[in-house]
């Protein structure tokens, strides 16, 4: 089975200069766990909700937040993204995706076309649902 058959095609992306405040708002209101970071239409990185949790104080939005906690939200996507993410093409099969997940210990694989433009994303959960 090809990845094109099971990948999520409704991919949300941000640019490299997007603030962590906006990224936090996206994750707070979404049911997905990964954002793709693009410049123009080229994929440059991935941000997971776990990356954001590591970068932002858990005190943000509480009565205990400090000015330093709030200042973290002014950081930019390029400062926390995983650069040069491992990718596959939509013609790759499930076996190739499983090999990538096992080799690189990642939780998503961006699916890109020949110009490195993101056309989808696949998570290990997508693989499990399919199997």
> What's the average model confidence in pLDDT over 71-96?
95
pLDDT interval class at 43 (50, 70, 90): very high
The whole-number pLDDT of residue 69 equals 81
pLDDT interval class at 60 (50, 70, 90): confident
Domain limits at 107? Answer: 3-130
Looking at the chain, the whole-number percentage of residues with pLDDT higher than 70 is 100
C-alpha span between 60 and 105 (Å, rounded): 29
The whole-number pLDDT of residue 64 equals 82
CATH number of domain containing 77: 3.10.580.10
- In the numeric block, the tokens 């200042």 are attached to 71
C-alpha span between 57 and 118 (Å, rounded): 30
Supply the pTM of this predicted model. Answer: 0.90
pLDDT interval class at 18 (50, 70, 90): very high
The residues, any chain, with a CB within 8 Å of residue 43's CB and separated by 6 or more, are: 36, 37, 85, 87, 110, 112, 116, 117, 118
pLDDT greater than 80 at residue 122? yes
Alpha-helical segments (H) within the chain: 20-28, 49-55, 67-72, 77-80, 94-104, 124-130
Q: How many domains does the chain have?
A: 1
pLDDT greater than 80 at residue 11? yes
The whole-number pLDDT of residue 24 equals 94
pLDDT interval class at 119 (50, 70, 90): very high
The whole-number pLDDT of residue 54 equals 92
């Amino acid at each position: 089975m090809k990845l094109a058959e099971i990948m999520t095609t409704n991919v949300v992306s941000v640019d490299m200069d997007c603030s962590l405040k906006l990224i936090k708002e996206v994750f707070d209101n979404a049911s997905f766990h990964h954002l793709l970071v693009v410049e123009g239409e080229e994929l440059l990185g991935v941000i997971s909700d776990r990356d954001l949790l590591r970068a932002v104080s858990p005190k943000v939005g509480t009565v205990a937040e400090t000015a330093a906690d709030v200042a973290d939200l002014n950081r930019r996507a390029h400062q926390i993204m995983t650069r040069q993410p491992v990718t596959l093409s939509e013609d790759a099969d499930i076996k190739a995706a499983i090999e990538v997940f096992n080799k690189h210990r990642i939780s998503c694989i961006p699916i890109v076309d020949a110009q490195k433009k993101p056309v989808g994303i696949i998570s290990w959960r997508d693989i499990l649902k399919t199997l």
